[in-house]
Amino acid sequence: LNYYGQMMAMKYPFMQMKNGTSEELCSSDSAGTAENVEKYEICGSLCTVSDVIIRQVPLENPETGDILVFERTGAYSVTEGISLFLSRDLPRIYVKSGEKLTLIREQIRTEEVNYGRTY
């Protein structure tokens, strides 16, 4: 992942985490107590060594449905790999304006394209 500040010795891209059950965005810098925080590697959906988005990022209790918002980055979901590589579903895409997240594309399942229709 390329991001603004990468060449200026910034260790992590600007990132926020949106809890799947909350409308609130919280910065990865404002993690909770040390006992609730663990470090994670965030990878994309490809099976390549270049698809590591961020290493050792501290997160507090991440769960399925949470959204990680990477700011000041390029169009990763479109440019990192072949869209239908390894039959991966295409991810949801959100745009952030101020504090508001807007869903601009739902997840797209690819099995019909990859395997053909079954009648």
Q: Report DSSP state, residue 106.
A: -
Q: What stretches of the chain adopt beta strand conformation (E)? A: 15-18, 25-27, 37-43, 52-60, 67-70, 93-97, 100-105
Encode pLDDT of 42-76 as tens digits. 887 666 777 777 888 888 888 888 888 777 665 55
CA distance 21 to 65: 8
CA distance 44 to 59: 17
Q: Please tell me the pTM assigned to this model.
A: 0.50
CA distance 110 to 103: 19
